[in-house]
């Protein structure tokens, strides 16, 4: 082997080039049945953190598909998905983002989030809202690194907060509303960390 040439091992650094990022696609009918299991696995991480709580059952893929909005997925079979609701009047709400634990921390969640922003922009939206736990490391702090800022959940998010209250989500910690502009002068997308 020529000693002046670099080996593959010289370049095994952790930076993931753009072309190797997980590819995101719109959900197909056959993907729907796998979504609830992914959500349930993600919910188990909350149960571990909060201590064996009764968690609301996951929403079925079919129920998600019946809502106005869009569903994006990664993998075949699916290993992660994002469900965005069209609230009307140009308002888009990230209702769920979940990645199967075995596939987490490899950029799948970030790729889905970037695709959500691009899709909302393509559909003429100017911002995305969400509700999440303030103090869970992979919730509000992670979204903040992806350009989301806390907002007053009054007005259009109030009905969703009410649903969350009924489900008892607030028992485990403060929930916060967050919003991120898309298109135009958007904040830089978060890095993997
Ligand atoms: C939030 C979620 C979608 C992120 O997916 P992901 O594919 O791991 O995201 P990325 O790989 O793009 O980002 C990884 C970063 O997220 C943060 N993160 C992810 N899991 C974490 C954990 N268990 N503890 C602390 N930080 C975590 C870290 O900053 C991590 O970077 P690092 O690995 O360099 O430390 C995923 O954790 C998940 O599905 N969680 C359960 C469901 C959920 O909470 N959804 C959001 C509801 S609002």
Domain 23-181 has CATH 2.60.40.10: no
Q: How far is the CA of 2 from the centre of ligand 1 (A)?
A: 42
- Residue ranges of the domains in the chain? 23-181
Question: First vs last Cα of the chain: how many Å apart?
Answer: 37
Please state the rounded mean pLDDT for residues 45-70.
89
Q: Give 84-110 pLDDT, tens digit per residue.
A: 999 988 899 999 999 999 999 999 999
Nearest ligand 1 atom, CA 99: 39
Which two structure tokens, joined as six digits, stand for 135?
Answer: 């103090």
Quickly list DSSP for 61-109: HHHHHTSSEEEEEEETTEEEEEEEEEEETTEEEEEEEEE-GGGTTSSHH
Q: Using pLDDT thresholds of 50, 70 and 90, give the confidence band for residue 157.
A: confident
Q: How far is the CA of 37 from the centre of ligand 1 (A)?
A: 17
Distance CA 190, CA 144 (A): 8
Distance CA 188, CA 18 (A): 15
């Amino acid at each position: 082997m020529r000693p002046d040439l670099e080996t593959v091992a010289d370049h095994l650094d952790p930076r993931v080039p753009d072309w190797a990022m997980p590819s995101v696609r719109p959900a197909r009918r056959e993907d729907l049945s796998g979504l609830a299991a992914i959500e349930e696995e993600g919910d188990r991480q909350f149960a571990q953190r909060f201590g064996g709580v009764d968690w609301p059952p996951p929403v079925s893929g079919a129920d998600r598909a019946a809502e106005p909005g869009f569903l994006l997925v990664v993998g075949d079979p699916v290993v992660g998905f994002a469900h965005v609701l069209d609230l009307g009047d140009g308002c888009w709400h990230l209702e769920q983002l979940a990645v199967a634990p075995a596939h987490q921390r490899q950029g799948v969640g970030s790729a889905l989030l970037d695709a959500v922003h691009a899709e909302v922009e393509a559909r003429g939206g100017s911002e995305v809202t969400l509700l999440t736990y303030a103090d869970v490391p992979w919730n509000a702090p992670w979204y903040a690194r992806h350009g989301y800022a806390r907002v007053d959940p009054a007005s259009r998010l109030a009905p969703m907060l009410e649903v969350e209250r009924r489900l008892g989500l607030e028992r485990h910690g403060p929930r916060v509303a967050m919003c991120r502009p898309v298109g135009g002068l958007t904040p830089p997308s978060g890095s993997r960390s």
